[in-house]
Each structure stands twice: as structure tokens, then as C-alpha cells.
Amino acid sequence: MVGMDDLLFTPGPVGLPSPVLRAMATPMVSHRSDEFHELYEVVEEKLKRLLMSDEVEVYLLTASGTGAVEAAVANFIKPGDEVLVPLHGVFSERLAETVRAHGGTVVAVDCGDRRGPTAEEVESALRSNPRVSAVAVVINDTCPGVMLRNFREIAEVVKERGCLLIVDAVSAFGGVEIPVRDWGIDVLATATQKCLAAPPGLSIVAVSEEAAARLGGGSPGTYYLDLTKYRDFSRRRETPFTPALSILYALNEALDFILRVGFKRWVDFHEMRARALYSALSELGMRPFVSEDFRSTTVVSVEAEGRISEVAGLLRREFGIYVAGGIGRFKGRIVRVGNMGYLTKRDVVTLVACLALLLRRLGYEPRVGEALSAAYDALRGLTYPRAGR
Amino acid sequence: MVGMDDLLFTPGPVGLPSPVLRAMATPMVSHRSDEFHELYEVVEEKLKRLLMSDEVEVYLLTASGTGAVEAAVANFIKPGDEVLVPLHGVFSERLAETVRAHGGTVVAVDCGDRRGPTAEEVESALRSNPRVSAVAVVINDTCPGVMLRNFREIAEVVKERGCLLIVDAVSAFGGVEIPVRDWGIDVLATATQKCLAAPPGLSIVAVSEEAAARLGGGSPGTYYLDLTKYRDFSRRRETPFTPALSILYALNEALDFILRVGFKRWVDFHEMRARALYSALSELGMRPFVSEDFRSTTVVSVEAEGRISEVAGLLRREFGIYVAGGIGRFKGRIVRVGNMGYLTKRDVVTLVACLALLLRRLGYEPRVGEALSAAYDALRGLTYPRAGR
């Protein structure tokens, strides 16, 4: 059904809480004004709470998540560096490509289609390749929907070897706890339009103080993504280039919303909804694609076998609900249900009910009542605060 | 569930299409400027298309629907006039009170709690009360949910007797076809926040050219609601007092949206959804309150027997879905589901699924799959245009 607001179960952009959407209509200020400095500072403070550390620098880039990931790579990988990249989906392949584009040599850990690397595999690869100086890893690969729930162990292995740790956390940050300092993350890239429930167009690079001190040593091969500029400007609460100001307003509101919920609870909500979705989709007869240990909490993928492949198109046309298909080599093989940011108990029930109707229409016999109840049972604790509407 | 946007199945205010909501952020203009004149004129033209006549004057009041109804009564009923008022709910009782407040004598046609008047009853009452000079009638009484689907026949009877016909169409206008001139309506009052899917705060009085010519003959007992002023100002596309400008912007967008759908289809959508709701709620075990011939298409009421009375509170707390209870003498006796304006196929499925879950939780055994399918089947044709998001 068209014309209404879309209900987005996509892996970003995501639906926004009203205050976030409204913030987009805030009038402009100069990005060299005191007002802007204050805005930058409060956003930075709030982001540090989600990064779970004060000892980190935060740079705001007017770019998509891919831009932020490239900035992380370009500024910390020098030509000739050997970089270990676990491959567990389309986005980790892109990360490997980005490393190569900046002259790095990729040492791959190929995990196949349905799982991520174990810490042992990473350790073994590092032992076999002693010249590797950095590990670049996608913490949550939205296609096919693999999340490194064992990321802490992987990070330990990486730090024990003294390697630089670069993390693409675009589709995980905000939806899972990632204590950047405790886990020894040197550079983390993320974006506004995923688990942070803000509009797309702004991305974030978080850099440890040690790594920040190292910036400026050479040419990163990019002008726009040169983090040295971002670092120097961020120290006076500015961006080197004109920022996407409206999105910064919205991000500020989104962070307020998350902190009003409580960051820990916000993360819990992602887990609850993931449990609800995996259970309900199973009751509807849709089989999870990814191995149990690596199933993402921020995007849920199922096999697109038989007529289930028609479900995404029907959901869109009939109900204005957007889920995603596979991309790259996963095209036609999976249906992906995004579970990021601001989704409510009601949204999940809606999706399950609409899916049930369409599966029935396609000739399946989904267990409708059971699916709805399974979702609902998993969502008991999911309630958002009223303040700040 | 709180914090998210409410899903409103209330008898107004109603959820709004995005362009309508966004229009609220349009910057101000003077209400004595050319820009305002143009805005007034385009809104007037669009409203005339919904009034299905060019031979009508349109006045915009910064007031709720009750204000518009009072303006209609105050300006067309003189002290001592005998006014026939069919009583079929709380709002027709309020209309009768308003007539009395302005010195009119009410001749009531009491219809009981579950139906409206037949044309024969109105005719008979007019014959028995030959001094009646006006009929004031609520075309859709939202509590309990009685709609005069036989309104055309009633209007015929009224016009045959040469009576003035004043219509409270607050919760019907836009959701049903009301050709004001063909049906001989002299004064119609309505508001923005019901079937027009605009925000509350602005209301509309439509007056036939003949009735407009009669304005100014005496004191209406009100300054703010003196329609003579609105008439004189409207002829230069203005309002006598500062209007709720933002709401006028939004109304303009809402009318655009309706006309893009097509007015006839917009009305059909209300009927489809009503059929969907009556069928689905019956499958869930909820019994309609109103006699079949008088069941409203813009608000659906069911018996609040047993624990069904808990449903409204649970829907609100668990899912952020708002339905209404009864008011006045209907308090505790009914649950009312608003069906006005911009509700989608998805919204209806959502309501049915959430209701099913809560009824089960309350110990009932609703026919979940059947209810969902019944709703879905009735909603096949309900699709909104994509343009103008």
C-alpha cells in the first residue's frame, strides 16, 4: 500500500521517533557559531556515553556509513600494510575492497555464508600471518545477517597480538554494547540511520586518544575523508566542512531519546525484538538463514525458499512494510528483516500479522495465533518513555 | 506502550498523512496578505468539491467542531423558534442543548440508544408539530456510533415541509458523500480533525447562498461566532479574527491528499474499513452495539461486556493504540473504534491483531486467523497514492 508512511523493517534507514523527525525542521545556524559549538559538544558527550568511554575522540562526517568506514581505513592503513579481514558477508567484502583500494594487502578469513569467525580462527590466522599489523572487521554484516556476538573474544585475540583494531560498527552501534576502550578498539565507524534512529546523511568515526595522536603522519589519499582535519576541527567543536546540520539536530534528539530510554534498555530492546522475530518467523514457517551462534540481533534473515521470496514485494505493495532481500551473492536466497532503532511492540505485531496473511495468500499454512503470541511474549518489557514527545 | 507515535482509532483527532503534519511547520504569513488570500481561496475551492456544490459559502472558524455547530445554531435560530432535533446520542443531545441555549424550543424525536430516526418518524414529528421552522440534526453521532445512513430521505422530508435544515456533520463530512445543495442543506458545520485528516483547531461552516443572504438580520448572541462577520470577510478571502494559520496550511495539504486519492474513493475507503472492522470485531467475539441499519461507517461501537471493557486501556498501554470508551450515559457500556480519515490497511490489520492478543490475554478465545482474514478481505482495494509524500 502506498501513500502512507512506510513501516521500515529495513537494515536502515529506520523509522524515527517524532521528536527526531521534527528536529529536522529546526532553522539553520552557522556551523562556525557558538550555537553550533554547543550542539557539537552535547552530541559528542552523548555519543561518548554510547561508546562507553570518555577517552575517545568523536568526529562527525557528512557522509554515509561507507564514507566513515573508508575514512577509518584510509587514515590508519598505509600502502603495503597487511590487514586481516574476516569475510562473513557482503559488507565485510566491501571492507576488504576498501583496504585494497588504499594499498593494503588483505589476509582473509573466509567464513562461508552462514556464520562469522571464531576467536580461534582469527588467532590462528594471525599466527600464520605474523606481518599482519591491523585487523579490520565488520561487527554486524547486514547481508546475510551475521553478527559477531563473540566480538569481545576476537578483540582480545587481536589486542594480544598488538594489532590495530578497526571496526565497522555501522549496523551494530547503539543496538549492542560496544565498550570501545575496554575492548581495545582503535577506530570505530558508524552512522546515524541505523540503531541510533536518526536520519541518514551523517556518520561518526570514533578514535581512541592513542590512535588520534597518530593521525597526521602521512597522506590518507583523500581530502574529504582526511581525519586529521576532523580531529583538529573537533577540538574546537567544529567540522572541517559544512556539516549536515539538520541531521545533527536530529541526531541530538535521537540520542536524547535513547538516553531517556536508558542505553542498556535500548540495547535490550533490540535483543527482545530479535527474539520475538526469530520465534514468530519460525512459527510462520520461515527458517533462519544464519547459524544460531551468529544470528544478528539487528537484522533477521530467513531462507527465501519457494514463494516466500514473494513476501517482500507483497508486504510493500499491500501494507507499506519494507523488509529487504539479499544482495550480492545472497540475492534471491534470503529475506532480511531489519531490527534497528525505534521499533515498537506494535510494529513487530503488525509485521507478524501482515506476514501471516501474505503467507496464507501464497498457499502456506502459518501458525498465526502462535506466531503472534510468540512475538508478544518476547516483547513484554518493551515500553518507551512518554517524555519528550 | 508509550513514547512512540500513537495509533489513533479515536473519533478524532486522527492520525495525519506526513505532508499534512509537515505543513504545520510552514512559516507564518500575515492573514491580511495576498499569500493568505490565495491560501483561503484554494482551500475554499477544494472544500466546495467535497461539499459537492459551488453554490455554497465557506467560512473558516478558529474553533473546534462544537464552535462551528454553535455558530450554525446561533446565527440561524431565533429565540422562540421551534426546532426539531432527533436524539440518537450524546452529540445530538448537545445540539439540543445548544438550541435551547440560544432560545429555541426543542421538539425531540427520541430514538433510544441504538438507532437513529427513520424518515417516517421525522415526518410524523413534523406533522404533529406544525410550528417547527427548523430541523437540527447530527448526521453521525459518535457516541454511541449512530449514523443516519437514511439522511437523504430525512432531508427530503424536512425540505418538503419547508424547514431550515441545519446539519452537524463534524464526524461525517469527508467520510460520506453529503451533496449540500442537492439535499437542501442550509447550514453545515464540520471540523478539520475528523474525516478530513487534518489537525484540530479549525472548523468549517458551509452556508447555502440563500441562507448566507439571510445573515445579518439580527444579533446572534455571540461576537466571536457571528457568521455575518465571517461572511463579509470571506468575500475578500479573509477571516474576521486571526486564524489558526498552521492548521489552514495543514488543511490545504489534507484536502490535496483527499483529492489526489479522489473524493469518491476516500469515502469508499471509510466504507471498506468499516466493513473490515465490523467483520473482524465480530470474529473476535465483540458484538456491535448499534442496530444494523444505523451503524456508523466512521465510528464502530461494540458492547463492552465482561472484560472487553478492559481492552481500551490495555491497547493504550501495551500498543499505543487509542480507541474510545462511551461517554455520558454510554460510559462503561461500549468500546468505540474511530474510523476517520487517513487509516491504512496496515493500521486495521494492526488493530485486529493487537485486539486479538489482548482478548486472549483476558481469557477469551478470539478467532484470530479468521478475524485477520476478514479484515484483509474487506480491504483489498484500499491503497493510497504515492504522490506528494
Q: What is the DSSP string of A298-328?
A: SEEEEE--GGGGGHHHHHHHHH-EE-EE--G
Taking 50 as the threshold, does the pLDDT of residue B1 lie above it? no
Question: Residue B309 is placed in which grid cell?
Answer: 471493557
Q: Do B344 and A372 touch (CB under 8 A)?
A: no
The pLDDT value recorded for residue A2 is 39
3-state secondary structure of B141: strand
pLDDT tens by residue, B38-82: 999 999 999 999 999 999 999 999 999 999 999 999 999 999 999
Which grid cell is A228? Answer: 586529521
Q: Do B369 and A349 touch (CB under 8 A)?
A: no
Q: Do B4 and A25 touch (CB under 8 A)?
A: no
The count of other CB atoms within 10 Å of the CB of residue B71 is: 25
Say how far residue B171 (Cα) sits from the centre of its chain: 1
Q: Nearest to residue A302, comparing CAs of A378, A371, A254, A248?
A: A371
DSSP per position, A35-94: HHHHHHHHHHHHHHHHHT-SSEEEEEESS-HHHHHHHHHHHH--TT-EEEEEE-SHHHHH
> B18 near B389, Cβ under 8 Å?
yes
pLDDT tens-digit readout, B268-310: 999 999 999 999 999 999 999 999 999 999 999 999 999 999 9
pLDDT over 50 at A235, yes or no: yes
In eight-state DSSP terms, residue B344 is -
Which residues in chain B have their CB less than 8 angstroms from residue A261's CB? 3
Q: Which of B257, B372, B382 sits opposite A368 (nearest CB)?
A: B372
**Interval A255-303: pLDDT, tens:** 999 999 999 999 999 999 999 999 999 999 999 999 999 999 999 999 9
CB-based contact (8 Å) between B199 and chain A? no
Q: Which of A376, A382, A384 to mutate to test the interface with B (most CBs of B within 10 A)?
A: A376
Is residue B135 within 8 Å of residue B158, measured between CB atoms? Answer: yes
Number of other residues whose CB lies within 10 A of the CB of residue A209: 12
Look at residue B3 in the predicted model and tell me its pLDDT.
Answer: 56
- Chain B neighbors of A319, CB-CB under 8 A: 344-346, 349
CB contact under 8 A, B356 and A345: no
Helices (H) and strands (E) in chain B, counts: 13, 14
CB atoms under 10 Å from CB of A313, counted, come to 12
Do the Cβ atoms of A369 and B369 come within 8 Å?
Answer: yes
CA distance A22 to chain B (A): 8
Using the structure block, give the residue that is written with the C-alpha cell 510462520: A284
For residue B345, list chain A residues with Cβ-Cβ distance below 8 A: 1, 318-319
Residue B292, φ and ψ in degrees, nearest 5: -50, -45
Strand pairing report for A187-191 and A164-168: parallel
Is B85 strand, coil or helix?
Answer: strand
For cell 536524547, name the residue: A256
Q: Is A372 within 8 Å of B356 when comparing Cβ atoms?
A: yes
Quick check: helix, strand or coil at residue A169?
Answer: coil
Q: Is the pLDDT of residue B214 over 60?
A: yes
Look at B1 and A318 and tell me if their CB atoms are within 8 Å.
no
CA end-to-end span of chain B, whole Å?
Answer: 27
Grid cell for residue A83:
590487514
Mean pLDDT confidence for A316-326: 94
Residues of B in contact with A7 (CB under 8 A): 346
pLDDT at A3: 56
Of B388, B14, B338, B7, the closest CA to residue B199 belongs to B14
Closest by CA position to B231, among listed B251, B217, B248, B247: B217
Chain B residues whose beta carbon lies within 8 Å of the beta carbon of residue A376: 357
Contact B319 A25 (CB under 8 A): no
Q: In terms of DSSP H, where are the helices of chain B?
A: 18-23, 34-51, 65-76, 90-101, 119-128, 151-160, 209-214, 227-234, 245-261, 263-283, 311-319, 345-361, 368-378
Is the pLDDT score of B12 beyond 90?
no
Other Cβ atoms less than 10 A from the Cβ of A260: the count is 17
A27 confidence band (pLDDT: 50, 70, 90): confident
Per-residue pLDDT at B381: 93
Which residue of chain A comes nearest to B5, CA vs CA? Answer: A18
Cβ–Cβ < 8 Å for A338, A9? yes
**Are residues A383 and B342, on separate chains, in Cβ contact within 8 Å?**
no
Classify B360 as helix, strand or coil: helix
Element (H, E) at A205: strand A203-208
- Mean pLDDT computed over A231-238: 96
> Is the previous residue joined to A130 through a cis bond, with omega within 30 degrees of 0?
no
All three cell numbers of B135: 430541523
Task: Decide if A3 and B389 are in contact by the 8 Å CB cutoff.
Answer: yes
Distance (Å, rounded) from C-alpha A346 to C-alpha A79? 50
In chain B, residues with a C-beta closer than 8 Å to the C-beta of A344 are 1, 4, 319-320
Residue A30 near chain B (CB below 8 Å) = no
- Average pLDDT rounded to a whole number, residues A95-115: 96
Which candidate in A349, A361, A386 is best for mutational testing of the B interface (most B CBs within 10 A)? A349
Mean pLDDT of B187-196: 97
Instruction: Average the pLDDT over A230-234 and give the result.
Output: 97
Question: Which pLDDT value is given to residue A230?
Answer: 97
Would strands A132-138 and A82-87 be described as parallel, antiparallel, or unpaired? parallel
Q: Judge whether residue A386 has pLDDT over 80.
A: no
Q: What is the reported pLDDT for B387? A: 46
Q: Which domains does chain A have, with CATH numbers?
A: 7-13+262-378 (3.90.1150.10), 18-260 (3.40.640.10)
Distances (CA, A) of B105 to A185, A289, A336, B122, B244: 81, 73, 66, 16, 34
Is B237 a residue whose pLDDT tops 60? yes
Picking from B320, B344, B357, the nearest residue to A344 by CB comes out as B320
Phi-psi group of A132: left, alpha or beta (phi > 0 → left; psi -120 to 50 → alpha; rest → beta): beta
Q: Does A4 touch chain B (CB under 8 A)?
A: yes
Tens of pLDDT along B216-230?
Answer: 988 898 999 999 999
* Nearest CB to A356; choose among B1, B257, B372: B372
Which residues are bridge partners to A83 per DSSP? A106, A134
- Determine the Cα–Cα distance for residues B145 and B294; give it in Å rounded to an integer: 8
> What rounded mean pLDDT belongs to chain B?
95
Question: Are residues A3 and B386, on separate chains, in Cβ contact within 8 Å?
Answer: yes
Kindly state whether B25 is in contact with chain A, defined as any CB-CB distance less than 8 angstroms: yes
Say whether the peptide bond before residue B13 is cis (omega within 30 degrees of 0): yes
Q: Contact, A176 vs A192, CB < 8 A?
A: no
Q: How many CB atoms lie within 10 A of CB B48?
A: 17
Sorted by sequence, the CB contacts under 8 Å of residue B223 that are 6+ apart come out as none
- Residue A179 contacts B where some CB pair is shorter than 8 Å: no
Whether the per-residue pLDDT at B156 is higher than 90: the answer is yes
* Higher pLDDT among residues A38 and B6, named by residue: A38
Q: Residue type at B268?
A: D
Rounded to 5 degrees, φ, ψ at A373 are: -65, -40
Q: Which residues pair with B322 in a beta bridge?
A: B8
What proportion of chain A, given as a percentage, has pLDDT over 70? 98
**Cα-based distances in Å from A383 to A300, A321, B1:** 21, 22, 5
Half-sphere exposure of B275 (CA within 13 A, CB side): 14
At residue A219 the predicted structure's pLDDT band, cuts being 50, 70 and 90, is confident
Inter-residue contact B110 to B87 (CB < 8 Å): yes
Taking residues A238-258, report their average pLDDT.
Answer: 95
Under the banding of pLDDT at 50, 70 and 90, the label for residue B5 is confident
Q: Judge: A373–B360 Cβ closer than 8 Å, yes or no.
A: yes
Positive/negative CA dihedral, A143, A144, A145, A149: negative
A2 with B383: Cβ contact below 8 A: yes
Given a contact cutoff of 8 angstroms between Cβ atoms, the answer to whether A137 and A163 are in contact is no
- Please say if the pLDDT value at position B389 is more than 50: no
Dump pLDDT digits (tens) for A58-80.
Answer: 999 999 999 999 999 999 999 99
The nearest alpha carbon in chain A to B26 belongs to A25
Checking if the pLDDT of B83 tops 70, the result is yes
